[in-house]
Amino acid sequence: MYVCAKCGHELFSSRSKYEHSSPWPAFTETIHENSVSKHEERRGAYKVKCGKCGNGLGHEFVNDGPKHGLSRMHNKQYKYITF
Ligand SMILES: [Zn+2]
């Protein structure tokens, strides 16, 4: 599971991670509805922040995921933890 590097808020499940050519982990969905907060930066691109502390995480690109209708979310500010 991937959590916020700053506050440890739960962000993305390893299950929603997929292979992408970018150097950062890419995900299709967040763990919780309120895991991240987003605001539109330009059409089809959102800035993604931690839903708890507002730490800037990366971007979401709508309809650019591994399958039609899925988004691609980058996470550059994360900690990876396992159970
Ligand atoms: Zn945070």
Per CATH, the number for 2-80 is 2.170.150.20
Quote the ligand 1 centre to 64 CA distance (angstroms): 25
DSSP code at position 27: E
Quote the ligand 1 centre to 7 CA distance (angstroms): 4
**What's the whole-number average pLDDT of the chain?**
95
**83: pLDDT strictly greater than 70:** no
In this structure, of 14-23, 50-59, 74-83, the range with the lowest mean pLDDT score is 74-83
Question: Please, how many CA atoms are within 13 Å of residue 48, restricted to the half-sphere of its CB?
Answer: 27
Rg of the chain on CA atoms, in Å: 12
Per-residue model confidence (pLDDT) at position 40: 97
The string of pLDDT tens digits covering residues 30-69 is 999 999 999 999 999 999 999 999 999 999 999 999 999 9
Question: What residue segments make up the domains of the chain, in order of their start?
Answer: 2-80
pTM of the model: 0.89
d(Cα 51, Cα 26) in Å, to the nearest integer? 18
d(Cα 34, Cα 20) in Å, to the nearest integer? 24
